[in-house]
Amino acid sequence: MTHGVISPAATDALEDWLTTIKALNNAADNTIDAYRTDLLGYLAFITGHFGDATGLAPLKQVKVTDIRAWMAHERGRGVSARSLARSLSAVKSFYRWLSERDSFDATVVLSARSPRFQKKLPRPLAEDAARAMIETVEFQSGNEWGAARDAAVITLLYGCGLRISEALSLTGADVPLPDVLRITGKGNKTRIVPVIAAARIAVARYLRICPHPPAPTAPLFRAVRGGPLRPRAIQKAMEATRMQLGLPATATPHAMRHSFATHLLSAGGDLRAIQELLGHASLSTTQAYTSVDTARLMEVYDKTHPRA
């Protein structure tokens, strides 16, 4: 099966759809790029499948067998069930938009069953392991200010539930850290995050000894030569630390964010409030992050929605 040459009409429709979802959903650039890649693969397959038919005709004539052929082709070239499910979701979203625009029945595509896959739940660290990570990461740096910097970043991840990209996007304009931070996360969604005292202290300590003075438009966390600190630097520091502490490979910067949510929930935090703190659009995403048992979730639900 060879891929066909995508018609200009199909290419234009794809770009129109991407422009629409970016405007309506404020989707991040990397999300748009992933959608484009998924759809280009699908469009190329369907075009070839219908013998390089022109225009949008092939897309509107798709049958169940055609969708199955595409999915079989994807699995045959080594695409995982998880990735194929994501691609199918993008295809359905595109068809939903296209069928409304061009008034045709897209039920065949929209009802296609997604491949099953085992969802990987994030693994938070135990509370003592999270504390040990913050205390021990300082020993991985070759200089005092670099050690204080790494500890400050990880304290923000665990103490405030920030993504590593969010912590590293802070600038000199954000210091001294206030009681609450306005964070712009995925999809340019803004949320308010309380800043714990330990995070303010850790950042203040780093700033006192950092050889690069903070500037309003410059990154708060600097690399050795003064440029912006890269996520890989923190990842490497945590890799060395987890080996020293005997922690599993799942002890990553993102695991500190998972740990923040899990420990907050286990301490009696409200699931909806934690959803807001993490910046999740969906409560189900927060449930996966917290990785709590059903009994604990039901306890939270009962408090939120008391039965008469």
Pick the range with the lowest mean pLDDT from 162-176, 185-199, 218-232.
Answer: 185-199
8-110 and 127-254 in the same fold: no
Q: Which residues are catalytic?
A: 163, 186, 254, 257, 280, 289
pLDDT digits (tens, 9 = 90+) for 116-136: 765 555 577 888 888 899 889
**DSSP calls for 198-211:** HHHHHHHHHHHH-S
Structure pTM? 0.58
Residue in this structure with the two tokens 């390089």, named with its chain if needed: 52
Alpha carbon distance 31, 93 (integer Å): 13
pLDDT digits (tens, 9 = 90+) for 246-263: 888 888 888 888 787 777
Residue ranges of domains in the chain? 8-110, 127-254
The per-residue pLDDT for 281 is 58
Q: How many CA atoms lie within 13 A of 173 on its CB side?
A: 6
**If you classify domain 127-254 with CATH, what class do you get?**
mainly alpha
Q: Residue 304: count other Cβ atoms within 10 Å of its Cβ.
A: 10
Cα maximum dimension of the chain: 67
Alpha carbon distance 18, 41 (integer Å): 15
Which superfamily does 8-110 belong to? Tyrosine recombinase, N-terminal domain (1.10.150.130)
